[in-house]
Chain A
Amino acid sequence: MNKVWPFVVLGLSTANVTLADAGDPQEGGAWLMKIAHASRHLNYSGTFVYRHGNKSETSSIVHYVNSGGGEFEKMEVLDGPAREVVRNNDQLTCYLPKSKTVIIEQRDVRQLPVLLPERMPDILENYVVRKTGTDRVAGYDCNVITIEPKDHLRYGRSFCAEVHSGLPLRSRTINDEKQAVESFAFTQLSIGGKFNRDMVKSKYASKSHNWHIDRSALNVSEKTEDTGWVLNNQPPGFKKVTEVKRSIAGRPGTVSHIVFSDGLSAISVFIESMPKERPAQTMVHQGAIHIYTRTYAGHMVTVLGEAPAATVMQIANSLELRTHAPLPNNGSHPLK
């Protein structure tokens, strides 16, 4: 019995510390995990609006988990040209009827990002996560979970999570000036109810047999590879989470793909051989995503991620080959 007493006393002091804090970080973190859990495990269908800049797009979405734990999703864009994204566990298929194209992205389930408690320390190192209030979205009461960055290298987030299930009804990406650069918000939603597999099948599934098919897949080697590329000025808080050689739909040859993440945002680096037409140095953006293209040592480098332009650029500009051995003439493969 005596051995347990220290835990009791320590537990009491923990409770007191928690009570003294204005926003409860423990509660904020727990809500974030609840949001991720709800997104993966609940059946729901609804309509959401994606806004970025002065643009908006409305889509319908159905998420269905079968009794065996298989996860199926279908998103259909309702404005402008018809487009559908269907997810079948770890395979993602985009149907683009306008150009009669199907893009298939096969993902390695072991490399999929999952919000594990092991990643929470990363998030809490770079952000302050708090429950800051309540709101109402698509007819549901929700808790506002605010994620504030601790520096200017990353964007903030704000989620409104349905009070009972934790399903994210609205998410915003917030810049330095406290303005939303991008948002997703449900306008109509039903949680639970009767679902079946047909609801998450594409209406183009049979029509698309003779369409152009672009496949994108990770290399057969399942483990992280050493592509030979390193950063000499890695932004603080970002860690390398994966490094692979892969194919990318519509791109010739092998592409080195390195991903850096601070727990909440990810930045991808794609390095490939120089195309015939040398690309210009450009920075483009769409909502929270910045995309920077440059050339380096006979390669084309594309860096993109949900982070401010300066962070994306810092990664792109600090990229270098680790060794100084001569580059292959065609530049198609980075050094090993």
Chain B
Amino acid sequence: MDKISALMDGELDEDEVSQLFSRLKPQGEMRESWDTFHLIGDALRGDCCLSPHLSQRIAERLATEPTVLAPRRSAPKRVNTYVLSAAASLSAVALVVWVAFSIHPLGPPPQEMAKAQIPAVRPVPATDQIASISDLSARGNMNEYLLAHQGFSPSTAIQGVVPYIRSVSDSQPSR
């Protein structure tokens, strides 16, 4: 813990810094998934909230801040400045962490999220078992099925009643 705060204050030498970073890196990747999901959750509840650009803006501000990873002997005035800006960054990040935890206290642990993988693609039966795929309007009425299906489709969650046009469609060729 002391090492991290020493790192923040720029009091470590180069070897110690790189050692510390290599220990933090895997956790950092974990945090990315964690933060992503919670920022999204926040956006949905939507009510407030953190801008989607927040992390970018923090990153941009950090980029303009002085580099403090190099070992330094003494620069009392600059240290003061840095402590202030670090405090500013801290409050921003602490806000993210606090919002994330208060929204989703029982969410899945980050390890589980990190484990998410692309599933292996299994062979798919070829469509040529069917002679041809004809247009729905040429075949019987499927509107009731479409209607029953639409209520469960995430597209309804995203677009409201708009996709229901499919279930009452009687489309004419484009003019």
Which residues of A line the B interface, CB within 8 A? Answer: 2-19, 24-27, 29-37, 39-41, 48, 50-57, 59, 61, 63, 73, 75, 77, 79-81, 83, 85, 87, 92, 94, 96, 103, 105, 107, 111-117, 119-121, 124-126, 150-153, 159, 168, 171, 184, 214, 216, 233, 235-237, 241-242, 246, 248-251, 257, 259, 261, 263-266, 268, 270, 281-287, 289-292, 302, 304-306, 309-311, 313-314, 317
**Cα distance, A283 to B127, chains bound together (Å):** 9
B31 contacts partner chain A, Cβ-Cβ < 8 Å? yes
**Cα distance, A32 to B154, chains bound together (Å):** 12
Verify A26–B8 contact, CB threshold 8 A: no
Chain A residues whose C-beta falls within 8 Å of the C-beta of B32 in the assembled complex: 14, 17-18
Chain A residues whose C-beta falls within 8 Å of the C-beta of B144 in the assembled complex: 103, 214, 216, 248-251
Known: A13-B24, A29-B36, A286-B169. A75 touches B162 (CB 8 A): yes
Verify B62–A63 contact, CB threshold 8 A: no
Known: A7-B94, A55-B174. A63 touches B89 (CB 8 A): no
Verify A4–B130 contact, CB threshold 8 A: no
Chain A residues whose C-beta falls within 8 Å of the C-beta of B94 in the assembled complex: 4, 7-8
Verify A117–B172 contact, CB threshold 8 A: no
Verify A313–B158 contact, CB threshold 8 A: no
Which of B38, B147, B173 has the largest count of A CB atoms less than 10 A from its CB? B147
Task: Choose one: B139, B151, B162, B168; the contact of A284 (CB below 8 Å).
Answer: B139
Verify A311–B124 contact, CB threshold 8 A: yes
**Cα distance, A310 to B127, chains bound together (Å):** 6
Chain B residues whose C-beta falls within 8 Å of the C-beta of A105 in the assembled complex: 147-148, 151
**Cβ contacts A to B, 28 pairs, < 8 Å:** A7-B94, A8-B94, A9-B24, A11-B92, A14-B28, A14-B31, A24-B56, A26-B35, A26-B40, A29-B36, A33-B41, A50-B165, A54-B174, A63-B160, A80-B172, A85-B167, A87-B161, A87-B164, A113-B151, A115-B158, A124-B116, A168-B159, A248-B144, A264-B154, A281-B130, A284-B136, A285-B136, A289-B166
Verify B153–A266 contact, CB threshold 8 A: yes
Task: Choose one: B1, B149, B166, B174; the contact of A56 (CB below 8 Å).
Answer: B174
Chain B residue, CB-CB nearest to A238: B119
A116 to chain B, nearest CB (A): 7
B71 to chain A, nearest CB (A): 18
B170 contacts partner chain A, Cβ-Cβ < 8 Å? yes
Task: Choose one: A2, A10, A40; the contact of B2 (CB below 8 Å).
Answer: A2
Verify B171–A55 contact, CB threshold 8 A: yes
Known: A152-B124, A153-B121. A306 touches B155 (CB 8 A): yes
**Cα distance, A214 to B167, chains bound together (Å):** 14
Verify A310–B116 contact, CB threshold 8 A: no
Known: A14-B31, A52-B171. A5 touches B40 (CB 8 A): no
Verify A304–B142 contact, CB threshold 8 A: yes
Chain A residues whose C-beta falls within 8 Å of the C-beta of B126 in the assembled complex: 310
Chain A residue, CB-CB nearest to B154: A113
Verify A270–B8 contact, CB threshold 8 A: no
A262 to chain B, nearest CB (A): 9
**Cα distance, A92 to B165, chains bound together (Å):** 12
Chain A residue, CB-CB nearest to B61: A15
Verify A2–B135 contact, CB threshold 8 A: no
Chain A residues whose C-beta falls within 8 Å of the C-beta of B7 in the assembled complex: 9
B99 contacts partner chain A, Cβ-Cβ < 8 Å? no
**Cα distance, A185 to B157, chains bound together (Å):** 17
Task: Choose one: A34, A85, A282, A291; the contact of B43 (CB below 8 Å).
Answer: A34
**Cα distance, A30 to B169, chains bound together (Å):** 32
Given contacts A11-B96, A29-B36, 9 further A-B contacts (CB under 8 A): A51-B174, A54-B174, A57-B171, A57-B172, A111-B152, A125-B117, A264-B154, A310-B124, A314-B125
Verify A94–B162 contact, CB threshold 8 A: no
Name the interface residues of B79-122: CB closer than 8 Å to any CB of A. 86, 89-90, 92-94, 96-97, 104, 108, 113, 116-122
**Cα distance, A61 to B96, chains bound together (Å):** 38
Chain B residues whose C-beta falls within 8 Å of the C-beta of A261 in the assembled complex: 152-154
Chain A residues whose C-beta falls within 8 Å of the C-beta of B156 in the assembled complex: 112-113
Verify A289–B146 contact, CB threshold 8 A: yes
Known: A33-B46, A96-B168, A115-B44. A249 touches B31 (CB 8 A): no
**Cα distance, A284 to B133, chains bound together (Å):** 5
